[in-house]
Structure 1
């Protein structure tokens, strides 16, 4: 019987609160630490997860008691991040002036992710935003 290789997936539900963003990043670091090549994703993945999670908290029109679900999976050589929320809105780019403190998150996601997008959640309540992250090259030996 052939052995099926399934992606190693992690999922957790966190409070819809900006105070949960560091916990989301901590869970991602722990997930990546358990993968042989996890270090090749850490910096970019933490930054993008933080942006996607913060967007879900700040821009969702879902009730505050709804949880935000995060999922990570290594698929082939790409890391897939997902952030699920119960809101009805979709991610949109904003034009930020140099003195604005917000409005650049999706620009970072667009530049650093190999691909990203959003989809409705199963059951029709809310959406999820996903990003695929390519591994960084191993540093060359000196």
Structure 2
């Protein structure tokens, strides 16, 4: 009996520029297309990856030549996305006022991810922010 194999962890390093965000989402869609029921993660995962990647670009204090690493894996029924950067600061969840033009990204991550967090990278340079995403029970 043949069983479907899940793709292993996907890893890519992208330029630390806002223009790389669509490429990050495209790579996520390609990864999910190889998963059984990958479409059940797509909408939430794309939104959260876009927010985490944009935060890494916007708030990075790292040199311009540093890249942002993205990782996707499905170790069980939860999709794990990670965004690694060389910045030293860790993100903090705060409440945006109605007039704020920014500051809602982590709020979305907090509301839509099953769990999320931030940790220092092995080796001591930078950090990574991760989110676990449950599959949607409905399909569009």
> CA 1:6–1:31 in 2, change beyond 3 Å: closer, same or farther?
closer
Matches within 5 A, 1:43-122: 43-122=43-122
Gaps in structure 2 of 5+ consecutive residues: none
How many Å separate the matches in 1 of 2:101 and 2:31?
30
Judge conservation of contact 2:6–2:35 (CA < 8 Å) in 1.
no
The residue number in structure 2 matching 1:137 is: 137
User: Equivalents in 2 of 1:30, 1:104: separation in Å?
Assistant: 27
CA RMSD of aligned residues (A): 1.4
> How far is the alpha carbon of 1:94 from its aligned partner?
3.0
Offset at 1:138?
4.0
How many residue pairs get aligned? The number is: 135
Give TM-score scaled by structure 2 length.
0.92
Structure 1 residue runs of 4+, over 6 Å off?
none
TM-score, normalised relative to structure 1: 0.91
Q: Provide Cα deviations, 1:67-109, integer angstroms capped at 9, x if missing partner.
A: 0000000111000000000000001123322122210000000
| Rounded Cα–Cα distance in structure 1 between residues aligned with 2:72 and 2:124 | 22
| Cα contact 1:68–1:85 (8 A) shared by 2 | yes
Number of the residue aligned with 2:30? 30
Evaluate the alpha carbon distance shift between residue 42 and residue 6 of structure 1 in structure 2; reply closer, same or farther with a 3 A threshold: closer
Q: Which consecutive residues of structure 1, in runs of 5 or more, have no partner in the other structure?
A: none
